[in-house]
Chain A
Amino acid sequence: AQKVTQAQTEISVVEKEDVTLDCVYETRDTTYYLFWYKQPPSGELVFLIRRNSFDEQNEISGRYSWNFQKSTSSFNFTITASQVVDSAVYFCALSEASDSGGGADGLTFGKGTHLIIQP
């Protein structure tokens, strides 16, 4: 069975500090997909990034970067020079390749990390 663990329940940093959110996953599939979503206080889940299991290249998007390491089953997310607007709950999620043909499986989410950026 698939599982996603986000061990950090809550992180609080001062604005402009760098912060890394950890994500460890478990799956028996060789083909799978990893995601990060942001959930601000408004409640809507906002998509941040998608990675497939065959692409271990790290990615940078502005102040955001992601480190995917299959050897440790981790997909960590770093925010550089954090800002108050980054305050939210961040979820890591996993989707396995569906056995039912071609469809997109449901996501298995971690419990989320509540990130607080203090001014």
Chain B
Amino acid sequence: EAGVVQSPRYKIIEKKQPVAFWCNPISGHNTLYWYLQNLGQGPELLIRYENEEAVDDSQLPKDRFSAERLKGVDSTLKIQPAELGDSAVYLCASSSLRRGETQYFGPGTRLLVL
């Protein structure tokens, strides 16, 4: 069974430029998460989707970050404009809808903002 797929794996951009990350969850997983991982830290939740609905976006910096999950499968996370402090790894994870189910992570997108 295929795991969570993310692209691109690496991205280098200049500050103030836009950037987008794409995630394809494990087939059949209704819940999708985006996490941010800074160097030397654990991942932190940005947004959680149940099917098409963003049910928890309280940690998403809405002035520059946006996300969508059209049709309840793939998801895109966007930053516009990017700042130096956005350099980090962006992780996507998916799970079934049931409480406490295991989240499976993709390989992440490593973003460097110059």
Contacts and interface: CB of A to CB of B under 8 A. Distances in A.
Given A43-B89, A91-B42, A109-B43, A104 B96 contact: yes
Q: How large is the interface on A (under 10, 10 to 19, 20 to 34, 35 or more residues)?
A: 20 to 34
Contacts of A106: 33, 35, 45, 48, 56
B25 interface: no
Given A91-B42, A109-B42, A112-B42, A104 B107 contact: no
A97 interface: yes
Nearest to A47: B102
Q: How large is the interface on B (under 10, 10 to 19, 20 to 34, 35 or more residues)?
A: 20 to 34
A98 B105 contact: no
A24 to B, nearest CB: 14
A50 B33 CA distance: 18
Contacts of A50: 100, 102
B107 A44 contact: yes
Contact of A44 (B45, B99, B106): B106
Contacts of A100: 55-56
Interface of A: 4, 31-33, 35, 37, 42-45, 47, 50, 52, 91, 93, 95, 97-98, 100, 102-112
Interface of B: 31, 33, 35, 40-45, 48, 50, 55-56, 89, 91, 93, 95-108, 110
